[in-house]
Amino acid sequence: MAAHRPWYRILYVQVILAIIAGVAVGHFFPHTGAALKPLGDGFIALIKMMIAPVIFCTVVHGIGSMGDLKKVGRIGLKTLIYFEVVSTLALAIGLAVGEIVRPGKGFNIDPATLDTSAVARYVTRAKDESIVGHLLNIIPTSFLDPFANGDILQILLVAILSGFALSRMGDVGTRIARGIDTASTLFFRIIAMIVRAAPIGAFGAMAFTVGAFGLGALRNLGELILTFYTTAILFVLLVLGGIARAAGFSILRFLAYIKDELLIVLGTSSSETVLPHMIHKMERLGASKPVVGLVIPTGYSFNLDGTNIYMTLATLFLAQATNTPLSLGQELGILLIAAITSKGASGVTGAGFVTLAATLTIVPDIPIQALAILVGIDKFMSECRALTNLVGNGVATIVISRLEGELDADALHATMAHPVAASEAFAQSPTE
């Protein structure tokens, strides 16, 4: 049992207070808030510097110690099928809600009157990222290149190949795998130190968001924001909650278990800031290392439920706001296009906006300059996207572990019985 600590030393309490302080500073002192951006950027950079070694060590040790390569392929196939089913469902829900609620109705915006300079860079990035180009970009220019640029899919590719090679090296491979596992302990110790700075990062990021974009943007597009947040919450509670129940655990208790990570993501608007922590926390929950190592990193590009809901909902919003009529066939076409373009997104802030731009470049009916409407609120929408993405990947990890028979049911039930206590115990000794 973890020793009782004063409330002010509990991480999630510190993050909550930091977020409140950040909103206050950004609102009442906007210039000061905008100037605090380096605090959030610095914290995100510290976490991102640890992502490559953590993913590499987790995946290599998991595959290398597994031995059965067919099992690795089976886990990968089940993971991709699960991702595709749930992601498509998220896209469909966003489309349905957009059609039913119609949050863009009545805006009557003439795209020709919009200032498109703010969205020019997003459109350029979207046009440059073709499907073939994205697939080729998964292959790094050298073995060490992914560790320098931090591309998650490139890191995953190198780690999988290394794990396969290690599994064929017999006793030598076993010794190397043991050394890699020891190295991962070092990296998680470093992460434990960095995470203590999360309140500072959350404070800086939130102060910048409110100071630079202002709370006024929330009022101007309030119906869209409310619709998106409500849809995402219902998706987590009903869809992911139903999946969780079928897998033998409560979604509410799971949310309580990852409360620290959720608050850090809320403060930084990026799910990458908790990727290493989630890997280790899912292992403590009872999922096996090979499953965690494959599902979590892959999910950051292929299982973005929040981003998927946003893409179809925002696309319909822009069509409605610019009075662009869409037939049922065109809406289904948007769903199919979004299913492809969403696979290029990641947990980085703003990636959802880029994939939305990529979708609109392929859908000629909706004027792409209409994206300018959403620039001012994208940081606020990014928080909800990242939170939903994080929960979706956590649930996926437990589900795939159970489907593969790699889930420690005793550890899961013990943790879910007292999720807050388990989370606090992890925060005090995350590598034990």
Q: What is the pLDDT of residues 95-132, one digit of tens each?
A: 999 999 998 888 787 777 665 555 555 555 555 555 56
| pLDDT (mean) for 251-262 | 93
Cα(218)–Cα(230) distance, integer angstroms: 15
Q: Return the pLDDT at 212.
A: 78
Cα(94)–Cα(353) distance, integer angstroms: 15
SS3 per-residue string spanning 240-289: HHHHHHHHCCCHHHHHHHCHHHHHHHHHHCCHHHHHHHHHHHHHHCCECH
Most confident of 147-156, 222-231, 284-293, 323-332: 222-231
Query: pLDDT tens digits for 299-310?
Result: 887 888 998 999
- Which of 239, 219, 274 lies closest to 87, judged by CA? 239
Contact yes or no for 398/407 (Cβ under 8 A): yes
Of the pLDDT bands very low, low, confident and very high (cuts 50, 70, 90), residue 394 is very high
187, pLDDT greater than 70: yes
Query: pLDDT tens digits for 40-52?
Result: 888 888 888 888 8
Of the pLDDT bands very low, low, confident and very high (cuts 50, 70, 90), residue 1 is very low
CA-based diameter of the chain, in Å?
Answer: 69
Most confident of 206-215, 231-240, 306-315: 231-240
**Who wins on pLDDT, 5 or 421?**
421
- Which of 398, 419, 331 lies closest to 82, judged by CA? 398
Q: Return the pLDDT at 347.
A: 45
Cα(335)–Cα(421) distance, integer angstroms: 41
Q: Return the pLDDT at 115.
A: 58
Q: Return the pLDDT at 389.
A: 92
> For tokens 């991480």, what's the residue?
11
**CB contact set of 418 (below 8 Å; sequence gap of 6+):** none
Cα(233)–Cα(155) distance, integer angstroms: 31
Cα(91)–Cα(394) distance, integer angstroms: 19
Q: Return the pLDDT at 51.
A: 84
Mean pLDDT, the chain, as a whole number? 83
**Who wins on pLDDT, 2 or 401?**
401
Cα(216)–Cα(222) distance, integer angstroms: 9
- Which of 311, 358, 351, 371 lies closest to 116, judged by CA? 371
392, pLDDT greater than 90: yes
Query: pLDDT tens digits for 346-362?
Result: 544 556 677 787 777 77
Query: pLDDT tens digits for 6-53?
Result: 767 777 788 889 989 998 999 899 899 889 989 988 888 888 888 888
Q: Return the pLDDT at 2.
A: 47
Name beta bridge partners: 216.
none
> For tokens 């926390």, what's the residue?
281
SS3 per-residue string spanning the chain: CCCCCCHHHCHHHHHHHHHHHHHHHHHHCHHHHHHCHHHHHHHHHHHHHHHHHHHHHHHHHHHHHHCCHHHHHHHHHHHHHHHHHHHHHHHHHHHHHHHHHCCCCCCCCCHHHCCCHHHHHHHHHHHHCCHHHHHHHCCCCCCCHHHHHCCHHHHHHHHHHHHHHHHCCHHHHHHHHHHHHHHHHHHHHHHHHHHCCHHHHHHHHHHHHHHHHCCHHHHHCHHHHHHHHHHHHHHHHHHHHHHHHHHCCCHHHHHHHCHHHHHHHHHHCCHHHHHHHHHHHHHHCCECHHHHHHHHHHHHHHCCHHHHHHHHHHHHHHHHHCCCCCCHHHHHHHHHHHHHHHHHCCCCCCHHHHHHHHHHHHCCCCCHHHHHHHHHHHHHHHHHHHHHHHHHHHHHHHHHHHHCCCECHHHHHHHHHCHHHHHHHHHHCCCC
| pLDDT (mean) for 193-198 | 87
With a pLDDT cut of 70, the percent of the chain lying above it is 87
Q: Return the pLDDT at 134.
A: 63
Q: Return the pLDDT at 49.
A: 86
For residue 62 the two structure tokens come to 């998991």
- CA torsion, points 394, 391, 91, 96, in degrees to nearest 10? 140
**CB contact set of 70 (below 8 Å; sequence gap of 6+):** none
* Structural domains of the chain sorted by starting position, each given as residue range(s) with its CATH number in brackets: 7-428 (1.10.3860.10)
